[in-house]
Amino acid sequence: MKKLLIAGCVLLLAACTPKEYSLNIRAGQEQIQEENFAAALTSFEKAQNEKKTEEVKVFIKAVHLLNESAEALQGGEFDQSIQKAKKVQAINSKEEIKNTIDKQAEQLISESQILSSQQKAMEQGIAQGKKMLEKQQFGKAYDIFEKVNQDRAADNQTIAALSKKLADLMDKTTAAKKAYEKKLAKEKAEKQKQEALRLAAEKRAQEEAIRLAEEQKQKQQAAERLAAAQEEKKEEESTTVVPQPKQIAETSSIEVQQTEQKTASSSTVQQKKTSAPQEPKQETDTKQTEEKQTTELTSSEAVQLVKNYLNLNNEKMHVEYDHMDGDNYIIHVFEVVIDDPKTNVGHTATYGWYGVNKKTKEIYNAFN
């Protein structure tokens, strides 16, 4: 009886073992298709614990490689991922097993190749975009970053990191463009300001040159008028004949003789009475004319009167005759101001205009 019980237990265990094995094998295959390689490895290891077969041995080896390939893929090690997947394809096994593992290996290879190509394109785009940034070609740089970031086929850790880097570069490009445009606007405004200052300085210089030229012209005209007045004075002095004492004496002698002759004549008594007082009158008029000619001011005397009147001791102040206004000498009082000591170029600053009556010697302000 005891022997029968033992035999029954053995048969029962033999019947249960294949079932658990089969369930774990089936579960592992499904998990491979779901790309859950870690769970598949656990299922196959359970099956191996139930029953060690060549089948389960192949599955465990293949799942190890598939899991390593998937991890390399996620970590951005695309070449390593491809190598691991190709090792899976190189495993010899039954057709059913090979179809299961080769399908996943092929999928990992394809995805790794796509992501590797995407990685290279993104890295190349980043390099090209940065060159455009260095050249301050912000529009081209932004377009490059945007295009390679939009063209990515799938995401993983490496691609996600590159995508974030591209997004940051796009933000940086936008900020750099704004800063650059602001800088250009500031430089343009400064350039316009400097140009305005330069034009204003040129205008002031032109106005100053015109003013100096006008003052120089006025000074030259004043000098010409003074020279003309002096020449006129010389001509007047050269044409004016002043009776000499000898001439006056001769005239008086003749007049006396004429008077004596008239006195001796009895037929002209009445004429002597009449003419006697007329001769002294003519002599008085002549003396008055001579006194008038000797007492009238000259232009140089008028200038000296103005100097004394204003009490001028400043060497920079000039007092010059300008022209006649009736019986009045018009005198110009001005100061010479040197603008450039190197060239000794300057201008005149009028102090005042004064009139001097050549008869009465009266001094007055010609502008009032």
Give the model confidence (pLDDT) of 275-309 as tens digits: 444 444 455 555 555 455 557 899 999 999 999 99
Q: What average pLDDT does this structure show over 100-113? A: 92
Q: Residue 16: pLDDT above 50?
A: no
Query: Is 65:58 a contact under the CB 8 Å cutoff?
Result: no
Q: What is the DSSP string of 226-261?
A: HHHHHHHHHHHHHHPPPPPHHHHHHHHHHHHHHHHH
DSSP label at residue 267: G
**CA atoms of 260 and 67, how far apart (whole Å):** 170
Average pLDDT, the chain: 81
What residues contact residue 286 under an 8 Å CB cut-off, 6+ apart? 243
pLDDT at 153: 58
Please state which of the ranges 51-55, 92-96, 262-266 shows the lowest mean pLDDT.
262-266
Q: Residue 5: pLDDT above 50?
A: no
**CA atoms of 212 and 90, how far apart (whole Å):** 103
Per-residue pLDDT band at 238 (split at 50, 70, 90):
confident
pLDDT at 10: 37
pLDDT at 47: 95
Which pTM value belongs to this model?
0.47
Per-residue pLDDT band at 274 (split at 50, 70, 90):
very low
Report the SS3 class of residue 217. Answer: helix
The domains found in the chain, sorted by start residue, are 1-183 (no CATH), 193-227+295-368 (3.10.450)
Q: What average pLDDT does this structure show over 98-124? A: 91
More confident residue, 158 or 130: 130
pLDDT at 314: 80
Q: Residue 273: pLDDT above 70?
A: no
Report the SS3 class of residue 327. Answer: coil
pLDDT at 275: 44
* Amino acid at site 245: P
Closest CA to 73 of 6, 138, 158, 197: 158
pLDDT at 154: 59
* Amino acid at site 329: Y
pLDDT at 9: 38
The sign of the torsion formed by the CA atoms of 36, 41, 42, 48 equals positive
First CA to last CA distance, the chain: 162
